Each structure stands twice: as C-alpha cells, then as structure tokens.
Amino acid sequence: MKTVPGQTIEIEGKNFRLFLTRSELQQAVDRLGRKISEDYNCTNLLFVVVLKGSVIFAADLVRAVQLPSELEFIRSRSYYDSMVSRGKAEIDIAGLSLAGKDVIVVEDIVDTGVTISAVIQRLNAFSPNSVRVATLFFKPDAYKGTIAIDYIGFNIPSKFIIGYGLDYAERGRNLPDVFVLDSNEDADN
C-alpha cells in the first residue's frame, strides 16, 4: 500500500490517520541499533522478540545491530480485539535457554507495562546474565510499571496506533507506516 502524508485508512469501521512514515521509523530503528552496538561489548547477545507485534521492528532492529547475536521468540497476548489493556498478559515461553546470555527483550509497544513486567519476570527465572528492554513505542502517561525501559524509539501520547507490526483486531500489521486512531473516534472498551 502506498501512503502519502495526511492519508487516512479505515479498518473495521474505525478511521486512522498517518502518524509516522516508514523513513521516520527507519531512522529511529537505526538510532537504537547504533546505541545497542555501542553499549554492548559481548558475544552472547540474545534478542528475545515478543510476538506477534514486534516481529517487523525486530527484523529491522537486529540488522541495525553490529554485534554477533542470537534470536528467540516468545508470544504474549494482552489486547485481543480491543483497544484497551485488559490488565492481564498471557506469556508463552517454550524451552528458552538463557543462562549466561545478555538478553534484550524486543517489544513493539509498552503501554500500561503489564506485558513487559510479566515477560521480564518469566525471563529472569531462566538465569540470564542481564536483561534489558528495547521498545519501538512507549506511552509514558499510561505506564504503571516499575522496570526501566532501556531503549525507546518514540515516546507517544496514550493513543491507539497500528502498522509496522501493530494491529487492530489482527489487521494493519503489514502497513509500512504507522497510523493513529482519529481523535474523534472512541477507543472501545
């Protein structure tokens, strides 16, 4: 799909408007990749990608990091088809081996922090050497967590966004740009 500034799209009867272009996203991802490459001096880096939303970001981020690294995937579900956090996260972790690894958890978006807190708690049980978090989007006004978010692409207002991996009712993940719910639309509860 081609997008031009000001373009709007409709998904499941909701209107979204262009928020960040693919080149703005790419610049942020490259900046995070450079920072991670500077910060780590190790040969045991492991990216743990939180599916599904983070897969597009992770694919670009790991290629922007100039260090030997491994990739693992875990799955979390928190939003289902709604736009509002249920305050509960289901995490599927199958046989991860993290002992001695420097782990970077790759998240698409940290909202209330329920998901990332649950992920970190579960990962710590596998005795990694260290754990940090890289998220493309962070909603500081919604965040109620206590863990530090080490790498942030964009601080954004508490609005619902889609594209570049992020979905509304499983739609919109493949949009190369990011769109925000129109302010005159209600987020459903």
The residues that are catalytic are: 111
CA atoms of 116 and 91, how far apart (whole Å): 10
Within residues 69-98, the interface with ligand IMP by CB under 6 A covers 78-79, 85, 89
Q: Least separation, in Å, of the C-beta of 5 and Mg ion?
A: 27
Give the integer Cα–Cα distance in Å for 171 and 12: 9
Asked if 50 and 105 count as a contact pair (C-beta separation under 8 A), the reply is: yes
CB of 25 to Mg ion, least distance (A): 16
Q: Is 108 a binder of ligand IMP (CB under 6 A)? A: yes
d(CA 30, CA 52): 21
Q: How many amino acids of this chain bind ligand IMP (CB under 6 A)?
A: 19
**Contact map string, positions 126 to 165, toward ligand IMP, x by CB under 6 A:** ----------------------------------xxx---
Q: Smallest gap, in angstroms, from Cβ of residue 176 to ligand IMP? A: 16
Per the CB < 8 A criterion, the answer to whether 182 and 124 are in contact is no
Does 47 contact ligand IMP by CB under 6 A? no
What burial class does residue 108 get, using C-beta atoms within 10 Å of its C-beta: 0-12 exposed, 13-18 middle, 19+ buried?
buried
